[in-house]
Amino acid sequence: MNHGYLIPGHYDLVTPDGKITTLHTRQPTQMEVDVVIENISPAFVGFSIPLHLVDFNLKSTLAQIGLNTKANEIVLDPQHGRAQLRLTIYAMNNLAKEMLPFLEEGAFLGKLFAADDRRIVHNPDYLVRMFGRSDREGRPLLSLGGMQGSKQLTIEQIDGRLIAFLALREGKIDYDTTVHGFFPTLGRALKQQLPVRNLIRLHQRWIADVPRLVGEDHMLLVASEPLHIRTVFARVVDSLLPEGFAHTSANILQPDTEASGDIYELFGNSNKEIYDIPLEFFTLEPHREHVFFADRDQLQECLEDPVVIFKTFDNGPDPQDFRAATFIVKGSQMLELTGKDWIVCNPPLQSFPGIAHNQRQALLAERYIEQQPCYPFLQAIENGLITSQGVLFTRYFPSPLLKRMLLSYHVKAHLMGLYFQMPSRSHGEFFSQEDRAMLIDLVSCGTPVYWADRRTGMILQYLQRPGKSSGMFVPLAKRKLFLEATFFGLYGSNLNAGKFESELMLLFKGLLDMQSSLEHPLFNEQTSLALVTGGGPGVMEMGNRVAKALNILSCANIVDFEAQGTKGVVNEQKQNPFVEAKMTYRLDHLVERQAEFYLDFPIFVTGGIGTDFEFSLEEVRHKVGARPNGPILLFGPPEYWSKKITSRFQTNLETGTIKGSEWVSNSFFCVETAQQALKLYKDFFTGKLNIGKKGPVFKEGFVVYK
């Protein structure tokens, strides 16, 4: 795997510093040396571009003294992460001649820079939008002399590339006599790779009101206002300097420049004064550009196209059943994604010892977290190695053990969406209770979650119903319908759909026609309709088919009955093809699944044990006030529902076990036709139904509505 952005302190356009290994010649004004650079990341761009675009960048401290370099030969060895260079070091003034003898074997001189022409910034907007923005430590992303930028910075497009002209301060920099005693210390510090840039400032002085001219045998040190750059590399453009001026090979400003990239080292011979420094810019790795998701137009377009999203998962690595994840911050990155751009792992399933062994539990949990493919990306965000906002693609919905990281402050600020292909590696399409809890937390904290669902061929977004503690995965085109919907629900047999389809079709057609003439909070021209089933065959399939045919949002809460193997006889497992919005559950959380139907208007038809269970839950929910008072329909002949309900209700009446709750009987209405049901609903929506605690008690346990 080649994820350079996950390497601390690494930028892919530069190498680490290289050191002198051999001194070939030493003269009063120049020396020739061999330099070796080791531990170069395989992500270094210089390994893959023409060699003439790679050049040596001298340490600014040495250039400020008056040294300059020329790379005579560069040999790159990507296999071993190594580079060998033959350099000539020039002394451009007397101070540099004095410093030259202190450059010895082992001294670190500078690094390679890969001027990849594909990374040149062309559009001024790319740079301008960074003004006024800061990183998470509050440091400006780009500024010259102030957070909002400066009038002393002029931006132009020249030859198709962006050029910024930095206005120079009046005067120049010179040295006092104490600098001579600093050279031995500097020579030793270079061997130890100690920071010396701020130390040399102690020996510099500012001379105001002098012209900024260059001449033979001396360097001109000039300064701009304090410059901050965090989002790009900058390079001095020699060809745009005034005639007779040249800049040293210390011409690169790195993205960690903080009010220190303000000194420029010039040499040459000219009787003209210089007024500004021209800079061109090179983009960082997309993950480190500090770019906001709102600025990524192409990425947003890609994420609006289901074909592109499914293709992104198709381009994932093999084996297809292994866990895999990648973090995407740019549209072109998403379009060009290959298997090698993913992190793949296959952590074994393991059981944890439990809280009774808390130390071992914590250790095993932490190890398991670190084995997840999402972990390196989330860790890189927390550590500041990923600074751009983006989206996380993961083959499987992340383990709930990653919740702490997913909800951390910095991850929330950078994670603009989580896309997954399968809810669970071990349970396929079904979520655990812990998964659902994490879904709710993610959405509550502002992280959108999307399911690239192969079964429906759609991208589904997890949404919570307003005022409810659970939600569903909803097709993107129907999110508004879901959030504004009044929810009807259909309970019945998975074995026998009965002869209710035509009546159900008439009922919902009538409801759609009735909407425009009523002004009930749950039923008016502005509300949409949704129908929820268990998502299986039989009555459930019939209900979802009717809903989809009428363009009513077709929903399902689907449970994994198959998880119990041969422990029981079940037929509900097969999912019907008419479901659009859905949530899935494992069988051990069947009650939670039933509780999360949250129906405004339940409808019961012929059913068996499961339907009886659902009837009891709706009855309890109504009794305790977990749902607003409203009619619950019993579709079918009164004789059938009497056999189901009456004896139980009357037994409870006789034994006094439902004292004070007898009124629930006035909320269940037996109807046999769509016309009866429509009349019933209209009576309710217009306030004509006497239901609730103050209503009558019906000894049958339900009302036969005529």
Domain boundaries defined on the chain: 4-116, 124-171+211-288, 291-454
For the segment 586-611, the average pLDDT, to the nearest whole number, is 77
The span from the CA of 92 to the CA of 95, in Å, is 8
Reported confidence tier of residue 627, pLDDT bands at 50, 70, 90: confident
Instruction: State the virtual CA torsion across 9, 122, 168, 228 in degrees, nearest 10.
Output: -30
SS (H, E, C) 234-284: EEECHHHCCCCEEECCCCEECCCEECCCCEEEEEECCCCCCCEEEEEEEEC
pLDDT number for residue 2: 46
Contact 37, 81 (CB under 8 A): no
**5-14, 279-288, 675-684: the lowest-pLDDT one:** 5-14
For the segment 490-498, the average pLDDT, to the nearest whole number, is 82
Please tell me whether residue 658 adopts helix, strand or coil conformation.
Answer: coil
Edge-to-edge order in the sheet of strand 245-247: 204-207, 172-175, 220-223, 263-268, 245-247
Q: Which amino acid is at 397?
A: F
pLDDT number for residue 150: 59
SS (H, E, C) 33-46: EEEEECCCCCCCHH
DSSP character for 150? Answer: -
Mean pLDDT of the chain: 89
Which CATH code is given to the segment(s) 4-116? 2.60.40
Contact 563, 589 (CB under 8 A): no
Which DSSP helix (H) or strand (E) runs through 418? Answer: strand 415-422
Beta strands in 115-186 (DSSP E): 142-144, 153-158, 161-167, 172-175
Which one of 3.30.70, 3.40.50, 2.70.40, 1.10.287 gives the CATH number of domain 124-171+211-288? 2.70.40
The span from the CA of 225 to the CA of 391, in Å, is 37
Distances from the Cα of 491 to the Cα of 110, 329, 610, 639, angstroms: 74, 44, 9, 18
Q: Do domains 4-116 and 124-171+211-288 have the same CATH topology?
A: no
pLDDT digits (tens, 9 = 90+) for 45-66: 999 999 999 999 999 999 999 9
Q: Omega before 537 cis (within 30°)?
A: no
- Closest by CA position to 492, among listed 591, 613, 672: 613
Q: CB pairs under 8 A, 24+ apart, for 174-182?
A: 174/204, 174/205, 174/207, 174/221, 175/95, 175/203, 175/204, 175/205, 176/203, 176/204, 176/205, 178/202, 178/203, 179/65, 179/95, 179/203, 179/204, 180/98
% the chain with pLDDT above 90:
68
pLDDT number for residue 255: 86
Reported confidence tier of residue 1, pLDDT bands at 50, 70, 90: very low
pLDDT digits (tens, 9 = 90+) for 461-475: 999 988 887 799 999
pLDDT number for residue 5: 59
Which one of 3.40.140.10, 3.40.50.620, 3.60.21.70, 3.50.50.60 gives the CATH number of domain 291-454? 3.40.140.10
pLDDT digits (tens, 9 = 90+) for 434-445: 899 999 999 999
